[in-house]
Amino acid sequence: MALETPNHTQTVAGWAAYDSSGKIAPYIFKRRENGVNDVTIQVMYCGICHTDLHHVKDDWGITMYPVVPGHEITGVITKVGSNVKNFKLGDRVGVGCLAASCLECEFCKNSQENYCDQIQFTYNGIFWDGTITYGGYSDMLVADHRYVVHVPDNLPMDAAAPLLCAGITVFSPMKDCQLLESPGKKVGIVGLGGLGHVAVKMAKAFGHQVTVISTSPSKENEAKQRLGADYFLVSTDAKQMQRGKRSLDVILDTVSAKHSLGPILELLKVNGTLVVVGAPDRPIELPSFPLIFGKRAVKGSMTGGMKETQEMMDVCGKHNITCDVELIKPDKINEALDRLARNDVRYRFVIDIAGTSKL
């Protein structure tokens, strides 16, 4: 792997973590020239995902420093390669978690590139040319057009940015569980953070009864009054959890902290499904009895393929679904990461990279 090749001639201003302290500082680096299959994007906004926090601190032991985070990117196309037919100059576009895949395996050919075993991510990955990928905490990005999506005209670019990760992460399992075409289900959402609040909005838009499960009683009013949830369960309240037993068809668990799945599984009906989309850095507990005695299934889900990501964006455009965001300037990234570590955000920080918003 390398930081750059002779083809990396475009100087870019960005923000990177240089070591496991996780502190972000300005970073000047180079990106490749726009190739025949590429589009160049002026980055307007970039969301701050919990994954960014893990990477800058090397919580998973895989970070290649300096790391330029950011995989919730919206911007405007400024260059188009000669082989690119589905994008043009000035298009509003988004880039999520994926930068490259093998393009040949069953998953790539079936529009499930996110499950390709050679997948490379938008940052902290190794691109086809052997260079390390740098993400959206930067003023410009060059991306292969096959990993870029259109942003619907009616969606604001700042509030649409987190859809590229948070949105697709909850949309994909909802589609997998047939929640898009079968309204009237009883859906549980565990955790009311960056993923959870989008999941509530989507599940309600798709016509389901939604129950939010949270450790924070203070979030009940917001879950019901502002986001439209029908019910709210405090997961540490044994009586509430008992009343909710065998009441839900599908549960999405968005929590990124270590916890037990046992009490959550008890909320599922017989044959119910629990989908884990959060990524705790320590193993979660999975007791066997709630699984066995309810014929319940536990599965995982990771983002989505490119066709599905575009579908998600179009569905969000149709239903006017966006993320609730707090805009920040680049010089506030460290403060935002510290607050994110304390869950002190409603519900997603978004960096105003281009400085177009009045903050």
For residues 40 and 179, membership in a common domain is answered with: no
For residues 331 and 217, membership in a common domain is answered with: no
For residues 172 and 224, membership in a common domain is answered with: yes
For residues 142 and 176, membership in a common domain is answered with: no
For residues 256 and 343, membership in a common domain is answered with: no
| Res 359: pLDDT | 59
pLDDT for residue 187 is more than 70: yes
| Res 83: pLDDT | 98
For residues 228 and 123, membership in a common domain is answered with: no
The number of domains in the chain is 2
Per-residue confidence band for 123, with pLDDT thresholds at 50, 70 and 90:
very high
pLDDT for residue 356 is more than 80: no
Q: Cα 295 from chain centroid? A: 30
Average pLDDT of the residues of the chain:
96
pLDDT for residue 29 is more than 80: yes
| Res 258: pLDDT | 86
For residues 27 and 156, membership in a common domain is answered with: yes
Q: How far apart are CA 206 and CA 136, in angstroms?
A: 31
For residues 283 and 172, membership in a common domain is answered with: yes
Q: How far apart are CA 272 and CA 291, in angstroms?
A: 10
Question: What average pLDDT does range 43-65 have in this prediction?
Answer: 95
Q: What pTM was computed for the model?
A: 0.94
Host domain of residue 193: 166-298
For residues 157 and 238, membership in a common domain is answered with: no
- Weakest mean pLDDT among 13-17, 204-208, 278-282, 341-345: 278-282
Give the CATH number for residue 343: 3.90.180.10
pLDDT by residue (tens digit) across 292-333?
999 999 999 999 999 999 999 999 999 999 999 999 999 999
Give the CATH number for residue 226: 3.40.50.720
Q: How far apart are CA 278 and CA 196, in angstroms?
A: 10
CA angle 232, 258, 335 (to 5 degrees): 85
Minimal CA–CA distance to 138: which of 56, 40, 50, 70?
A: 70
Q: How far apart are CA 128 and CA 147, in angstroms?
A: 13
| Res 358: pLDDT | 64
- Weakest mean pLDDT among 49-63, 95-109, 279-293: 279-293
Is 305 within the bounds of a domain?
A: no
For residues 187 and 222, membership in a common domain is answered with: yes
Minimal CA–CA distance to 47: which of 160, 147, 174?
A: 160
For residues 221 and 343, membership in a common domain is answered with: no
**Tokens in use for 26?**
């300005």
Question: For residue 47, what is the enclosing H or E element?
Answer: strand 38-47
- Residue 217: is the preceding peptide bond cis (ω within 30°)? no
For residues 41 and 81, membership in a common domain is answered with: yes
Reduced to 3 states (helix: H, G, I; strand: E, B; else coil), residue 309 is helix
pLDDT for residue 1 is more than 70: no
